Amino acid sequence: MARSPAPLAPFEWMIAWRYLRAKRAEGGVSVMTWISLIGITLAVFALIATLAVRSGFRAEFVDTILGANAHVTVYYTPTVNAETGQLSREITDYDALAERLSAVPGVTRAAPLVKGQVMANSGDRNAGVEVFGIAEADLRTIPRIAEPEVAVGSIDRFAQGIAIGSGVARELGVTVGDRIRIISPNGVRTAFGTSPRVNAYEVVYVFTAGRYDIDRTRVYLPFDQAQSFFNREGAADEIEVMVADPDRVDALGAALREAGGERVLLWTWRDASGSFLRALEIEDNVMFVILSILVLIAAMNIVSGLIMLVKNKGRDIGILRTMGLTEGSVLRVFFICGAFTGLIGTVAGVILGCLFAIYIDPIFSAVNYIAGGGVWDPSVRGLYHLPAQLQAGDVMMAVALSLGLSFVVTIFPARRAARMNPVEALRYE
């Protein structure tokens, strides 16, 4: 008794290869094969490029949040000020509170801050800014400020002046060595009320943190000078807490409240940016579904090509079946034809997608040059460039989706070929 050939035998690969490279005049569908191949390639490329940009955008956004802002901000619940009769959140025991918070396991730094919104002025230019009063030693521990993307001047001279974001410097038309004035409506207290306070400071440091909204509004003053300017002598507005693992910041909430006391309120970086991150996650999921449909549409071209191939090769199938080729062998021949197209298209798409993610900066610069500039507006998007981060998990997800769909849709026309009746196929030959 003759033994059945092993699955995916060499002759099955040979027949599939002959069908794939056959010209249309010979009964092949080379044009449809190329269309299927290009469709799969572009779909996988679009999927990987989108996933890379999505990962890069989220990573860059979170990095700028964690690199320039407090991981946890500690406030006091408001109490009535005995002198003014107004509600106040001032922290008078800020040194002791910062020391207790620093002792919590997982906390890397706790620094008292004085904050206020003022008007900055230079000549005839004005800009609304937010002043952060902080000690120089604490300022040096903020990654995006102490080690920014671009910096002018020296942070070593912070005690002698003021540090401003590059957006503020651009708005006011100043640089290191110039003097700017900051104006607060709640300034000097007199017998006739409170008059605006105006102080001039030398710009000693200009930083670019990487986020437009930070660079455009943020200003740092030495802690003691900020206390004097905002009438906070002997007090701070809040405590800025940095932790070793920002992703687990919620787990430290109970310990921080216990260390802070009954009046303590916490505001984490997730509370501040949680809505944006959730919206970004929803957008990511929707985009993945849409692009998955795009990959499915591209894979359906394989079905069209194989159906035409089966129709054109009906005579060949009938002859091969009469020669003893089993249904399983016929199925595998046409499965190889479709799967090989999906495999080559997937590989090409992965290569193009990875190259796009790696060389996104020069590619985007070329697009921006061709479009005449203004393609990316940092004032709208927050970041100065289009980020991309290539992750192995995203690439493997795209590969699995493309190959899985390509293999599944190939089965149906391959089964149709395998079940073709050889007598019917050869009746009119």
Question: Tell me: the pLDDT tens digits for 60-71?
Answer: 888 888 888 889
Helices 269-312 and 314-322 sit at what angle, rounded to 10 degrees?
Answer: 70
pLDDT at 96: 92
Of 16-30, 75-89, 269-283, the range with the highest mean pLDDT is 269-283
Nearest to 394 by CA among 48, 44, 45: 48
- Chain centre to alpha carbon of residue 231: 41
Structural tokens at position 46: 């679009």
pLDDT reported for residue 123:
87
Predicted confidence at residue 347, as pLDDT, reads 93
Kindly report, residue by residue over 132-145, the tens digit of the pLDDT.
999 999 999 898 89
Least confident range of 22-31, 346-355, 376-385 = 22-31
> What is the structure's pLDDT at 2?
46
| Whole-number Cα distances in Å, 243 to 113, 115, 211, 214, 249 | 17, 21, 21, 21, 7
Which pLDDT score is estimated for 56?
85
Token pair 């590059």 in the structure block, residue: 166
Task: Assess whether pLDDT exceeds 80 at residue 373.
Answer: no
Buried b (16+ CB within 10 A) or exposed e, 124-159: eeebebebbbbbeebbeebebbeebeebbbebeebe
The arithmetic mean of pLDDT across residues 118-129, rounded, is: 91
Predicted confidence at residue 21, as pLDDT, reads 65
CA 255 – CA 101 distance, rounded (Å) = 9
How far is it, in rounded angstroms, from Cα 418 to Cα 145?
67
More reliable by pLDDT, 13 or 351: 351
Q: Could you tell me if 122 and 174 are in contact, meaning their C-beta atoms sit under 8 angstroms apart?
A: yes
Alpha-carbon distance of 184 to 322, in angstroms, equals: 95
Residue the block writes with tokens 């957006």: 167
Q: Is the pLDDT of residue 359 over 80?
A: yes
pLDDT at 1: 41
Which pLDDT tens digit goes with each residue over 99-110?
999 999 999 999
Question: 112 or 326: whose pLDDT is higher?
Answer: 112
Residues 6+ apart with CB under 8 A from 387: 53, 56, 57, 59, 60, 360
Residue 321, pLDDT > 80, answer no
At position 46, the amino acid (one-letter code) is: A
Q: Which residue has the higher pLDDT, 188 or 257?
A: 257
Question: Which amino acid belongs to residue 192?
Answer: F
Mean pLDDT along residues 81-85:
60
With tokens 């700017």, the residue in question is: 180
- Inform me whether the pLDDT recorded for 118 exceeds 80: yes
Is 152 in contact with 206 (CB distance < 8 Å)?
A: yes
The C-alpha R_g of the chain, in whole angstroms, comes to 33
pLDDT, position 27: 44
DSSP codes joined into one string, 254-292: HHHHHHH-TTEEEEEHHHHHHHHHHHHHHHHHHHHHHHH
Closest-CA residue to 88 (of 186, 193, 218, 223): 186
Residue 150 has pLDDT above 80, yes or no: yes
Whether the predicted pLDDT of 120 surpasses 90? yes
- Over residues 386-392, the mean pLDDT reads 84
Query: pLDDT band for position 224 (50/70/90)?
Result: very high
> What sign results for the dihedral spanned by CA atoms 50, 52, 57, 58?
positive
Can you tell me whether residue 425 is helix, strand or coil? helix
Q: What is the predicted pLDDT for the residue at 80?
A: 66
Residues pairing with 109 in the sheet: 242
Considering the chain, what is the average pLDDT of its residues?
A: 82
50-59, 109-118, 306-315: range with lowest mean pLDDT: 306-315
Residue 73 pLDDT level (bands cut at 50, 70, 90): very high
Share of the chain above pLDDT 90, in %: 31
Could you tell me the pLDDT band of residue 314, with boundaries at 50, 70 and 90?
Answer: low
Highest mean pLDDT among 371-375, 388-392, 421-425: 388-392
Residue 312 class from Cβ within 10 Å (0-12 exposed, 13-18 middle, 19+ buried)? middle
Least confident of 66-75, 80-89, 142-151, 220-229: 80-89
3-state secondary structure (DSSP) of residue 29:
coil
By the 8 A CB rule, do 332 and 27 touch? no
**Secondary structure element (H or E) that encloses residue 107, with its range:** strand 107-122
Q: Which residue has the higher pLDDT, 295 or 280?
A: 295
Share of the chain above pLDDT 70, in %: 80
Q: What tokens does 37 get?
A: 């191949």
Sign of the alpha-carbon torsion through 377, 383, 385, 391: negative
Query: What pLDDT sits at residue 422?
Result: 62
pLDDT band at 333 (very low <50, low <70, confident <90, very high): confident
CA torsion 56-57-61-66 (nearest 10°) is -20
The band of 19, judged by pLDDT with boundaries at 50, 70 and 90, is low
Least-confidence region, from 39-43, 225-229, 322-326: 322-326
Residues in the chain: 429
Residues 6 or more apart in contact with residue 319 via CB below 8 angstroms: 422, 426
